[in-house]
């Protein structure tokens, strides 16, 4: 495999072309289509994906739900500001996190969020600014997080999110992601119903987006980059459906999966 340098991915993107607020209609987003045979490009809009589905195809969607995973708090001893990004739940109340400023959060450092509804202590230092934190609270953790946390929007989005549900897919169910599977944000319930009506199998897996989305690539050669692991789950029923689609595809000399699981 040819070595690919990080610099190969550099391109100019004018900041004024980065949308800061979502469209009122999820499906109104533009869609760029590429003809694999000719390499030709065609501009369209997201509902055009309906034209590319045929009966017997499978559409695989990621039903992860984004947590309001960014917390702003203070260190209880010094009063200094601290920002915490929840990445992955390890035990009941212990999480892998990214902390800023990481150099000032050591093992034993205590933090408080809100009016003290949520507190944490650092139990282990990890690489790349990562920290394991043990949280304490009263009640249900996700309800406390909903009250205190913010959606972890990408750094190039400067506007505040008016409606947090717009950073969720319409089929988000399983809490656990630190960022949205953005490839699926443009689907609506109506569009999914239209896809099913064509005889397409719409199935769901769970893939929680974690550190890999936020961790910078610190090597020049991408083949030396170590990918971070992420939690995923596929049920036996979904696996059986996909195997059936694959088997039928071999009989008909076609097997088509469409995956919208990723960021």
Q: What is the mean pLDDT of residues 108-137?
A: 93
**DSSP letter, residue 226:** P
Q: What is the mean pLDDT of residues 174-197?
A: 93
pLDDT for 61: 95
CATH code reported for the domain at 70-148: 2.40.10.240
Residue span(s) of the chain under CATH 3.40.1780.10 come to 25-66+158-260
Classify residue 179 as exposed, middle or buried by CB count within 10 Å of its CB (0-12, 13-18, 19+).
buried
Rounded CA gap, 164 and 54, in Å?
Answer: 34
pLDDT for 164: 86
pLDDT for 159: 84
Residue 257 has pLDDT above 80, yes or no: no
Q: What is the pTM of this model?
A: 0.85
pLDDT for 135: 98
Confidence of residue 207 (pLDDT cuts 50, 70, 90): very high
> Which stretch of DSSP H or E encloses residue 86?
strand 81-89
Confidence of residue 230 (pLDDT cuts 50, 70, 90): confident
Q: What is the mean pLDDT of residues 73-93?
A: 92
The CATH homologous superfamily of the domain defined by 25-66+158-260 = QueA-like (3.40.1780.10)
Longest dimension (CA), the chain: 68
> Which stretch of DSSP H or E encloses residue 136?
strand 130-137
Residue 133 has pLDDT above 60, yes or no: yes
Residue 102 has pLDDT above 70, yes or no: yes
Looking at per-residue pLDDT, the higher value among 216 and 51 belongs to: 51
pLDDT for 236: 97
Average pLDDT over the chain reads 89
Residue 1 has pLDDT above 60, yes or no: no
Residue 10 has pLDDT above 60, yes or no: yes
pLDDT for 259: 64
Residue span(s) of the chain under CATH 2.40.10.240 come to 70-148
DSSP 3-state of 248: helix
Residue 179 has pLDDT above 80, yes or no: yes
pLDDT for 59: 94
């Amino acid at each position: 495999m040819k070595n690919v340098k990080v610099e190969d991915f550099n391109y100019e993107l004018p900041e004024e072309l980065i949308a800061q607020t979502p469209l009122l209609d999820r499906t109104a987003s533009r869609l760029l289509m590429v003809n694999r045979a000719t390499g030709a490009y065609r501009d369209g809009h997201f509902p055009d994906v309906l034209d590319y589905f045929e009966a017997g195809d499978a559409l695989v969607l990621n039903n992860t739900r984004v947590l309001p995973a960014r917390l702003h708090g203070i260190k209880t001893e010094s009063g200094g500001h601290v920002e915490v990004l929840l990445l992955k739940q390890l035990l009941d109340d212990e999480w892998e996190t990214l902390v800023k400023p990481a150099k000032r959060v050591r093992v034993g450092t205590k933090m408080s969020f809100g009016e003290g509804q949520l507190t944490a202590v650092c139990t282990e230092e990890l690489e790349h600014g990562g920290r394991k934190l043990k949280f304490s609270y009263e009640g249900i953790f996700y309800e406390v997080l909903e009250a205190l946390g913010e959606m972890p929007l990408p750094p190039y989005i400067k506007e505040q999110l008016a409606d947090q549900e717009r950073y969720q897919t319409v089929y988000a169910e399983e809490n656990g992601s630190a960022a949205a599977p953005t490839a699926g944000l443009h689907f609506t319930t109506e569009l999914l119903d239209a896809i099913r009506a064509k005889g397409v199998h719409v199935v769901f897996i769970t893939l929680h987006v974690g550190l890999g989305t936020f961790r910078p690539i610190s090597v020049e050669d991408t083949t030396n980059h170590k990918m971070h692991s992420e939690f995923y789950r596929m049920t036996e029923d979904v696996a059986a459906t996909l195997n059936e689609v694959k088997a039928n595809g071999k009989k008909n000399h076609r097997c088509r999966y469409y995956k919208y699981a990723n960021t």
